[in-house]
Amino acid sequence: MNNLAKLLQDIKDNPTLYLDKPSITCLHSFLIGYLGTLSKLGFTQKGWAMEGFQEWIQERAKTKVSQSWAGIILFGGSERSAFYSFFNLFDEFLKREKISKNESNEIGENLKFNVDDLKPRIYDYNLYEIIGRIKKSPGMFLGTASITKFDMYLRGYILAKREVALPPTSQEREFEGFQSWIEEKYGIKSGQSWSKIILFYSVDEHEALQKFFELFEEYLNRNKSLEVDENCG
């Protein structure tokens, strides 16, 4: 299984593969989905690679403003420059002076996900339940109501599930069809993600997220109708 250090390096080298573009905001939402999912599923590791990073960034920036580390790094700059700044800052964080050479080596080891050390607890992590919770309280999960952040969060969720070798659920398989359904609905075959397509036809990120929930409900109802027709047939 990939370790966090390798994943971050892969994202740095290939941001479009994971996030569509080099963006600190997208990276933040992706990592929330990824790390949060591992935690909720009960997959833990010795140590916590990003533990204390938020506090360290606040202290470094000399701010007590309630803002995410991504928001602090982004302040006064561009999404792209902040994205690349993150990796330098995170590396500096891991090598900060108060960590001895031995402790640094130990942390380096703790960044690795060891399958034998993972301890999954029985937890039914329901994708549609997650989507429902985000719909009810987007700020709690995403910071702000944004379809792009929502998409990145789900990408992190999907990667986390894949990395711990959990097979996709029926809901996750059904959700995979949402992309082609959106393309068909809007008559678009551009290779753009469902979030970008919906955003293109919306006023802003907030409206696009609300539109997603409406479209997703339409998609699920359509699937239910098809199932009923097949059963009746």
Q: How confident is the model at residue 133 (pLDDT cuts 50, 70, 90)?
A: very high
Query: How many other CB atoms are there within 10 angstroms of residue 60's CB atom?
Result: 15
Domain assignments of the chain as residue spans, ordered by start: 4-166, 167-233
**Any idea what DSSP says for residue 202?**
S
- The pTM for the full model equals 0.85
Q: Residue 178: which H helix or E strand, with range?
A: helix 170-186
Over residues 213-232, mean pLDDT = 85
Helices (H) and strands (E) in the chain, counts: 13, 0
Buried b or exposed e, range 184-198, using 16+ CB within 10 angstroms: eebeeeeebbbbbbb
- At 160-205, the pLDDT tens digits run 998 888 889 999 999 999 999 999 999 988 889 999 999 999 999 9
Assign 185 to helix, strand or coil: helix
